[in-house]
Structure 1
Amino acid sequence: MAAQFGVLGAVEAQIAGRPVALGHARQRSVLAVLLVEAGRPVTVDQLIDRVWGAEAPQRAAGALYSYLSRLRAALGDAGIGIERRPGGYALTADPQTVDLHRFRRLVTQARGAESDRSAAELIAQALGLWRGEPFAGLDTPWLDAMRQSLLGERLAAELHHNDVLLRLGRHGELLPSLAAAVAQHPLDERLAEQMVLALYRSGRQADADEQYRRIRRCLADELGSDPGAGLRRLHERILAADPTLIAAPAVRAASPATVPAQLPADVRAFTGRTEELAVLDKSLAPPEGDEPPLTVVLLSGTAGVGKSALAVRWAHRVRDAFPDGQLYVNLRGYDAEQPVAVGDALAGFLTALGVRGAEIPPGVEERAGRYRSELTGRTMLVLLDNASSVEQVRPLLPGTGSCLVLITSRDALPGMVALYGAERVNLDLLPLPDAVVLLRRLIGARVDREPAVAEQLAAACARLPLALRIAAELAAARADVALAELVGELGDHRVRLDLLDAGDPRAEVRAVFSWSYQNLPADAARVFRLLGLHPGESVRADDVAALADAGAGEARRLLGVLVRASLVHAGRGGRYGMHDLLRAYAAELAAAHDPAPERRAALTRLFDHYLAGAVAATTTLYPDAARPGTADLAAARPSTEPEAAGAGGDAEVAWPGGGPEVAGAGAGPGAAEAARSWLEAERPNLAAACTYAAAHGWHRFAISLAATMFRYLDAGGPAAEAVAVTASAVSAALALGDREARARALSDLGRLHRRQGRLEEAAATYRQALALYADLGERAAEAVALRNLGTVHWRLGDYRQAAEHYQRAGAHYRELGDDAGQADASVRLALVEARLGDADRAAERLRPALELYTRLGDRFSEAYVLSLLARLSCRPDDLERAAAHLEQSLAAVRQAGDRTAEAYALTDLAAVHARGGRLTEAADHLRGALVLHRRIGDRASEAEALNDLGQVLRAAGDAAGARAQHEQALVLAREIGDRYEQARAHDGLAAAAGDDGATHRDRARRLFADLAVPGAPGW
Structure 2
Amino acid sequence: MSSGDRRLRVELLGEVRARADGRDLVLGSPRQRAVLAMLAVRVGGTVARAELIDGVWGDAAPASVEGSVYTYVHGLRRALSAAGEKVLIRSAAGYRLLLAPSQVDLSVAEAQVEKAREVATSGHQSAAADILAECLAQWRGSPLHGIPGPFAAAERTRLTEWRFELIEERADLMLAADRHREVIAELVEAAEEEPFRERLRAQLMLALYRSGQRADALAEFDNARLLLTDQLGLDPSAELTDLHLRMLRSDPALDLAPEPHVRAHSLTPAQMPHAVPDFVGRVRELQQLDEWRRTGATDGRPLVISAIDGAGGIGKTSLAVRYARQLTDSCPDGQLYLDLRGFDPKRPPLTTTEALSQLLWSLGCTRQPTNLEMQKSTYRALLSSKQVLILLDNAVSPEQVRDLLPGPSKNLLLVTSRNRLTGLVTQDGARRLTLGLLTETESLDLLRRVIGQQRVDAEPEHAAVLARLCGYLPLALRVAAEKASSGPRSSLRELVENLTEEKDRLDALHTDDEMSSVRTVISWSYASLPGPAARAFRYLGLLNTADIGVAAVAALIDRPAHETEEMLSTLCDLHLLDSTGSSFKSHDLVRLYASELAVRTENPEERSEAIRRLLAWYLYSVRSALLCTIPDYPIFPASVPEPRHTLQQFDTRESAYAWYEAEASNIAALTRRAAELGEHEVAWQLPWCMHDHYYSTGQLTEWLELLRVGLSSAEQLPSPEPQARLLNDLGIASSRIGRNDLAVRHLQRGIGIARKMNQPDILLRLLTNLASTLREMKSYDEGIVYGQEAWRLAVELGRPYEIAGTLDTLCELYVESNQPKQALECGKAGLDAARASQIGLPEANLLVNVAHAHRDLGDTAAATRRYETALELCAKLRDRYHEALALLGLAELHRRMSRYSDSREHAQRALSIFVSLDGEETDTAREFIAKLDAETRSDTS
If the TM-score is normalised by the length of the shorter chain, which range does it land in? 0.3 to 0.5
TM-score by length of 2: 0.46
